[in-house]
Structure 1
Amino acid sequence: MTQHALHPADDLLPRDIPVQLIDPTGAPVTDEHFTRPDNDALLRAYRGLVEGRRINDQANALVRQGRLAVYPSSHGQEACQVAASQVLGDRDWLFPTYRDSVAVIARGVSPADTMTLLKGDWHSGYDSHEHRVAPQATPLATQLLHAVGFAQAAKHRGEDTVVLALCGDGATSEGDFHEAMNFAAVFHVPVVFFVQNNEFAISVPLSRQTAAPSLAHKAIGYGMPGQRVDGNDVAAVLAVLGEAVDRARAGGGPSLVEAHTYRMQAHTNADDDTRYREREEVQAWIARDPLTRLRTYLTAEGALDEETEAALAAGAEEIAAALRDALNADSELDPEDLFRYVSTTRSPQLTEQWEQLRGEIDRSIQPTGGH
């Protein structure tokens, strides 16, 4: 096995203060290491923020209408979602969580197909290989092990693929998280762990998840660098994640990026977040909204005007309308699908069961005689 050089401890430690390139007021911040992306890249990201916010709002409405079974909103976390997609190349892979629908859509998956899982029809409604997006996962942290294995396979094949593995702060308390980190570091695979620290794992605050100075500090225990970033500053997230992806592609191995953000809405529509956090706390984060922050910056730079803003809003509305139409249409169900995808070759037992069900269906739709 090829050995890789151990890193000095100082090279692995994250900053005391998260990286920030645009402050909450929309003013630029100079950083000695990270360069703010140019306005073209930021305008592309802003479009993603506008569309992501509209998708979140529309999905929440569809839950109330009974068209979605559940929706874990990323309202307020859209900067992480958009940046996660934007830093990846065509050959790279995204391994999302259940809350990362906006990132999946930004990667090219249609909104309607993305919502298939949350509608309850299938485990995944899109072709993972076509879009290079793994199926969204509801169990915490399981996708991290899959991501590391995928990155190891890509390395063996000699590909320049980088895998971006997303998770939340709650997932860092799972054993799968630590196993994935350890394997990735020992085998020096091209994977970036991106932790969206939104302060709450359902109802459990971060203070009950870890006693470490930050989640990024966990990286040093596995021999990989960790970095902290303002997760509501899309410019900073693009810069920090972009560097981590470039490092992995160049053979530098895995790294961990912790984005400090906030879950503005409940865990899902089934959750009552008033039981475990105060409204004042939620309101305080409104001033850090990633969308308004970038809008202010781009407007001051002269890169965003009312006409462009209106065009972006109209485009986002078209996406919402298409999602609405798709989910308002009744699904065409085929009962044989219950048996069609169990195994490559259907067993005699499954064949017998299908024939029994088909007979019952045929009898139920036959007209009955009567006087």
Structure 2
Amino acid sequence: MKQVLENVENQFEMFQILDENGEVVNKEYEPDLSDDNLKELMRRMVYTRVLDQRSIALNRQGRLGFYAPTAGQEASQLGSHYALEQEDFLLPAYRDVPQLIWHGLPLYQAFLFSRGHFHGNQFPEDVHGLSPQIIIGAQYTQTAGVALGLKKRGKKSVAVTYTGDGGTSQGDFYEGINFAGAYNAPALFFVQNNQFAISVPVEKQTNAKTLAQKAVAAGIEGYQVDGMDVLAVYAVTKKARESAINGEGPVLIETLTYRYGPHTMAGDDPTRYRTDDLDNEWEKRDPLIRFRKYLEAKNLWSEEDENKVIEEAKEEIKAAIKKADNHPKQKVTDLIDIMHEELPVNLQEQMEEYREKESK
């Protein structure tokens, strides 16, 4: 049985298209993206890096609430999202706000979500998704249900979810992939393995050599991909999506990536559990640097292009935070009012109590 296990684990090799120097090492699988598509993908990555920097600053100023940094994970997040379609349904974790924004969620609403304002969860009708899940792994069981619903309605779309390596230690993770596998539901399950579940290294969470191999127990396809390589993530996601909508069942995708900042801005100090050597090693694999080199070699990207995106992002973020600031403040009566179509007696009493308080 040890030999059987070893044989299984050895099948899950990391898939890569671009190496750390931005050179193609897997020409056969280089995606057929137009020059405009490649530039747009880079634009989104640069924009999201700026958004992360500004969000951290706004959090420190007390202008945002809960925030989980994303720098380092842009290739994993945006490479996967770029392979999706507008009708696909997103069920993100709390670090996956960028995917929701590029899926159509207005930026000012993303800021309101961070502040805990209910309007941050009132998505436009054409934005197919749920609010970022705070409970670790819960989005996996939700995704199985949404995917089954899409299948029963005959939709040619997929339900897509994300969790971190820590999420694979939750029961919801196994229940979600098992349920989706049993019903052959069109779901894509991403595990963004950024090496640490807050402070616990992945090797202390599981004895499995990879997280991708956990797909085997659920009887579904599994892949491990270089999560710092945006083209590799895009290519695997596109293939997995096509497989799912063609009735071949769900897919589990482990992206090997790294978060440069803390787990969240709520007091985590990564210097307590990560070394400078480890940080430096992963920074050499930076997804933006790697993809920038690839595009520069094709004469598709320049410093001028990048500076233009940076300034554009700063201006849009400035306007969005101002719009969030000017949005009507949340009141307790607002929350009570939107909870039920008809308020039960106890909430009717609370509504009157708070209306009186708020009128003073």
TM bracket (short chain): over 0.9
2:262 corresponds to 1:266 = yes
Offset at residue 208 of structure 1 (A): 1.0
Structure of larger gyration radius = 1
Offset at residue 98 of structure 1 (A): 0.1
Gaps of 5+ in 1: 1-8, 366-371
SS at match of 1:115: helix
CA distance in structure 2 between the partners assigned to 1:274 and 1:331 by the alignment: 39
Match of 1:342 in 2: 339
Offset at residue 102 of structure 1 (A): 1.1
Equivalent of residue 166 in structure 2, options 170, 180, 203: 170
CA distance in structure 2 between the partners assigned to 1:101 and 1:16 by the alignment: 29
Equivalent of residue 36 in structure 1, options 31, 56, 79: 31
Q: Mapping of 1:31-110 within 5 angstroms?
A: 31-32=27-28, 34-38=29-33, 39-110=35-106
CA distance in structure 1 between the partners assigned to 2:60 and 2:326 by the alignment: 16
- In the superposition, the TM-score normalised over structure 2's length comes to 0.92
- In the superposition, the TM-score normalised over structure 1's length comes to 0.89
Superposition misfits of 4+ residues, deviation over 6 angstroms? none
Offset at residue 275 of structure 1 (A): 1.4
Equivalent of residue 235 in structure 2, options 239, 243, 251: 239
Q: Against the structure 1 CA distance between its residues 262 and 88, is the aligned structure 2 distance closer, same or farther, given a 3 Å change threshold?
A: same
Match of 2:300 in 1: 303
SS at match of 1:68: coil
SS at match of 1:259: strand
2:279 corresponds to 1:282 = yes
CA distance in structure 1 between the partners assigned to 2:73 and 2:192 by the alignment: 8
Q: Against the structure 1 CA distance between its residues 119 and 253, is the aligned structure 2 distance closer, same or farther, given a 3 Å change threshold?
A: same
> Residue type of the partner of 2:346?
Q
Q: Against the structure 1 CA distance between its residues 37 and 211, is the aligned structure 2 distance closer, same or farther, given a 3 Å change threshold?
A: farther
CA distance in structure 1 between the partners assigned to 2:258 and 2:291 by the alignment: 17
Offset at residue 15 of structure 1 (A): 4.5
Match of 1:156 in 2: 152
Q: Against the structure 1 CA distance between its residues 106 and 330, is the aligned structure 2 distance closer, same or farther, given a 3 Å change threshold?
A: closer
Contact 1:165/1:194, CA 8 A, preserved across alignment: yes
Q: Against the structure 1 CA distance between its residues 43 and 298, is the aligned structure 2 distance closer, same or farther, given a 3 Å change threshold?
A: same
2:18 corresponds to 1:22 = yes
Match of 1:4 in 2: none
Q: Against the structure 1 CA distance between its residues 347 and 211, is the aligned structure 2 distance closer, same or farther, given a 3 Å change threshold?
A: same
SS at match of 2:121: coil
Q: Against the structure 1 CA distance between its residues 132 and 335, is the aligned structure 2 distance closer, same or farther, given a 3 Å change threshold?
A: same
> Residue type of the partner of 1:36?
P
> Residue type of the partner of 1:135?
S
Offset at residue 294 of structure 1 (A): 0.6
CA distance in structure 2 between the partners assigned to 1:45 and 1:31 by the alignment: 19
CA distance in structure 2 between the partners assigned to 1:208 and 1:25 by the alignment: 31
SS at match of 1:211: coil
Q: Mapping of 1:190-205 within 5 angstroms?
A: 190-205=186-201
Between the two proteins, what is the percent identity of the paired residues?
Answer: 36
Contact 1:128/1:134, CA 8 A, preserved across alignment: no
> Residue type of the partner of 1:227?
Y
Match of 1:251 in 2: 247
CA distance in structure 2 between the partners assigned to 1:136 and 1:177 by the alignment: 16
> Residue type of the partner of 2:355?
R
Q: Against the structure 1 CA distance between its residues 168 and 186, is the aligned structure 2 distance closer, same or farther, given a 3 Å change threshold?
A: same
Offset at residue 124 of structure 1 (A): 4.3
Contact 2:118/2:335, CA 8 A, preserved across alignment: no
Q: Against the structure 1 CA distance between its residues 360 and 192, is the aligned structure 2 distance closer, same or farther, given a 3 Å change threshold?
A: closer
SS at match of 2:80: helix
Offset at residue 279 of structure 1 (A): 2.1
Offset at residue 30 of structure 1 (A): 2.0
Match of 2:175 in 1: 179
Q: How many residues align?
A: 354
Match of 1:228 in 2: 224
> Residue type of the partner of 1:145?
T
Deviates further, 84-93 or 180-189: 84-93
Deviations 1:216-250 (A, max 9, x none): 01111111111111001001100011100111011
> Residue type of the partner of 1:87?
A
SS at match of 2:254: strand
Deviations 1:62-121 (A, max 9, x none): 110001122101110011111232111121111100001111111111122113232122
Contact 1:192/1:257, CA 8 A, preserved across alignment: yes
Q: Against the structure 1 CA distance between its residues 227 and 347, is the aligned structure 2 distance closer, same or farther, given a 3 Å change threshold?
A: same
